[in-house]
Amino acid sequence: MQQVYFDNAATTQMREEVISVMTEVMKNNYGNASSSYSLGRLSKSLIETSRKTIAKFLNASASEIIFTSGGTEADNLILHSAVKDLGIRHIITSKIEHHAVLHTVEALKKDYNIAVSYLQVDGNGTIDFDELEELLRENTKTLVSLMHVNNEIGNILDIKRVADVCKAYNALFHSDAVQAIGHYPLDLQDIKVDFLAASAHKFHGPKGVGFAFVRKNSGLKPLIIGGEQERGLRAGTESVHNIAGLETAMTLAYNNLDSEMEYIRNLKSYFISKIKSEIPDADFNGMSGDLKSSTYTLINVRLPIAANKSSMFLFQLDLKGVACSRGSACQSGSNKKSHVLSEILNKEDLEKPSIRLSFSKYNTKAEIDYVVGVLKALV
């Protein structure tokens, strides 16, 4: 049986270069970065070099990069502090955000009695900018939280446009950019977003490390209290090997961005053509079938199978060696339907099996042929 990994939106295979760097750091740079002796200073130097490298790729200041355990922690840090410390009384978001944002916003609403507005999305998962402006016009002390690339249907948000609108109404803008950073170039001098969240394991780096971009002089306060690490914004002994792995993964991602983007986009284009040829009644959710309006890294396909035959669909794919998902890996232990698809599909289409397949530099057209063949047989 062939083994095919098409769940790169959930996590990616680490590059060999990343593993090598992390191994060397674990062997030789074990000093606590907060210590004053040479081993500690060396660890501190590695962290600060990584911070500068990451900031350079984003055209940001090194002081604006705060290392975290990943995107979820970064989202929580930003959203909690915005409400507790920055005086935010109103959050605008959408119901197709990652649960790291949605559940945090729900908790903040309950605990701090803030107002929350959910932007309507159309059948393709696209927000209405006129509604966004209207809500911003009617409310003060507002933060907008909208993800750059949707992790289930791949829609790309024009975050520069959102940032400009927010600035026009003196609102703060936070974007979960977990599916974008490492896959798209971002110039944060041009894009006036206030806060971003990123995670290394989405671009062939290690799990358990990411960062928050926090624009200077924002006034943000820490979520995790303790020592003065990360400029006082994130207490706890830094994971030096993970941070070094993050830096290496990001460097390789952006240094090879053009060639790898073209390769992966061609894989997605090939998958679309094969599905249309072999399973013509299949359809694509959101904008994922549009190469211009969705990320090149994933596609979400809805298959023409009756509801009573769809419950074991992912299990059947697993038996054939195909690793993919219904949506966010954070929901994999739940029997609930995708909250993203529930917002954009009618009841009949929602009952059909939809699967997210996400690609990387390690995938091939031969794997796509195999997976489409498996899907065709099951259909």
Tokens of 292: 């211009």
Please give the C-alpha separations between residue 233 and each of 70, 79, 173, 197, 213, in angstroms, as whole numbers: 14, 13, 19, 14, 11
| pLDDT score at 326 | 81
* Same domain flag for 203 and 294: no
- Point out the domain boundary residue: 239, 255, 271: 255
* Same domain flag for 167 and 293: no
* Same domain flag for 41 and 127: yes
CATH code, domain with 335 = 3.90.1150.10
| pLDDT score at 328 | 59
Q: How many domains does the chain have?
A: 2
Q: Is 166 a catalytic residue?
A: no
* Same domain flag for 34 and 80: yes
d(CA 228, CA 237): 10
| Nearest-10 crossing angle of helices 240-255, 38-58 | 30
Tokens of 61: 């200041």
Cβ proximity of 14 and 207 under 8 Å: no
* Same domain flag for 196 and 138: yes
| pLDDT score at 335 | 56
| pLDDT score at 35 | 94
The ranges of the chain with pLDDT < 50 are 333
- Point out the domain boundary residue: 213, 232, 255: 255
Tokens of 152: 């289930």
- Point out the domain boundary residue: 255, 280, 299: 255
Cβ proximity of 272 and 284 under 8 Å: yes
| pLDDT score at 333 | 47
Residues 6+ away with beta carbon under 8 Å from 37:
31
Catalytic residue from among 165, 261, 323, 330? 330
d(CA 186, CA 180): 9
Of the candidates 2, 86, 16, which has an alpha carbon nearest to the alpha carbon of residue 322? 2
Expressed as residue numbers, the domain containing 318 is: 4-12+257-378
* Same domain flag for 185 and 298: no
CATH code, domain with 144 = 3.40.640.10
* Same domain flag for 110 and 203: yes
* Same domain flag for 374 and 328: yes
* Same domain flag for 103 and 41: yes
Return the HEC string of the chain: CCCEECECCCCCCCCHHHHHHHHHHHHHCCCCCCCCCHHHHHHHHHHHHHHHHHHHHHCCCHHHEEEECCHHHHHHHHHHHHHHCCCCCEEEEECCCCHHHHHHHHHHHHHHCCEEEEECECCCCCECHHHHHHHHHHCCCEEEECCCECCCCCEECCHHHHHHHHHHCCCEEEEECCCCECCECCCCCCCCCCEEEEEHHHCCCCCCCEEEEECCCCCCCCCCCCCCCHHHCCCCCCCHHHHHHHHHHHHHHHHCHHHHHHHHHHHHHHHHHHHHHHCCCCEECCCCCCCCCECCCEEEEECCCCHHHCCCHHHHHHHCCEECECCCHHHCCCCCCCHHHHHHCCHHHHHCCEEEEECCCCCCHHHHHHHHHHHHHHC
* Same domain flag for 214 and 319: no
CA dihedral 209, 213, 218, 223 (to 10 degrees): -20
* Same domain flag for 229 and 103: yes
| pLDDT score at 214 | 98
* Same domain flag for 289 and 300: yes
